[in-house]
Amino acid sequence: MTIAPAMIETKSIIKKVDTSEGELQILQPISFTVKPGESIAIIGASGSGKSTLLGLLAGLDEVSGGHIMIDGEALHSMDEEQRARLRGEKVGFIFQSFMLVQSLTALENIMLPAEIAGLSEPKKRAQKILEQVGLDHRANHFPNQLSGGEQQRVAIARAFITNPKILFADEPTGNLDSTNSTKVENLLFDLNKKSNTTLVLVTHDHKLAQRCQRQLHMDAGELTEQTKPLKVVSGE
């Protein structure tokens, strides 16, 4: 039996920041692996370090020590340009505050990663995925003309357009009401399942976390425990 290589593998990663009182270690050595297609939730209270960890895993920030391997590539030894390439090729993002470019339409926002990655027919791809998220009628609307739920659906569509191997989601429902939250959650997990993407989700919403296959608990910059969900919540 062959063991599939890990999609994400961290070994003793730490993060230190400079403050007026000197250097401060905000992330204690953390090690874990995530298998391809697996969904994990990083949960913890505000300030526990979960977003910092997400930033490091996604290559948005540099580790102060330790190793991170993403799909077999050593992220920890990459420079900014190499990390940008890796993000463009293998990673998708969803953020709490949607992070859409305000001066581009919904369709153009979705096209953006495909264009940056140099994929063919970005518009066709974007139109197709916009249909999948049910917003084809809003293609030419600007973000400030869309509701919060619609904006997050556009962001989800943008995240999936390049068929990323890993999807990082930072509190994807944090800015939404319960109805929209449910819609967005379902859409996220549906697309994730269909595309067999590895999902790393940061949240303090335990209900949402339980939809993932595994949960990493963070507290004060430390990974305190790894748990499996007690039961699979349908989300309906």
The binding site for another protein (CB under 8 A) comprises: 51, 54-55, 58, 60-61, 80-81, 84-89, 91, 93, 95, 97, 99-105, 108, 112-113, 115-118, 142-144, 158, 170
Nearer to another protein, 87 or 183 (CB): 87
Angle subtended at Cα 218 by Cα 224 and Cα 203, rounded to the nearest 5 degrees: 140
* 83 to 55, 68, 75, 80, 207: CA distances (angstroms): 12, 12, 7, 5, 32
Helix, coil or strand: residue 175: coil
Nearer to another protein, 67 or 85 (CB): 85
Number of C-beta neighbours around residue 30 at 10 A: 23
* Cα 46 versus chain centre, distance: 18
* 45 to 50, 161, 201, 202, 204: CA distances (angstroms): 8, 31, 14, 11, 6
Nearer to another protein, 115 or 131 (CB): 115
Least Å distance between CB 2 and another protein? 31
Least Å distance between CB 123 and another protein? 11
* 147 to 61, 121, 151: CA distances (angstroms): 30, 28, 6
Nearer to another protein, 14 or 35 (CB): 14
d(CA 196, CA 64): 31
Least Å distance between CB 113 and another protein? 4
DSSP code for 93: E
Nearer to another protein, 58 or 129 (CB): 58
d(CA 29, CA 47): 17
Least Å distance between CB 101 and another protein? 5
Nearer to another protein, 69 or 84 (CB): 84
Least Å distance between CB 231 and another protein? 31
> Which one-letter amino acid corresponds to residue 139?
A
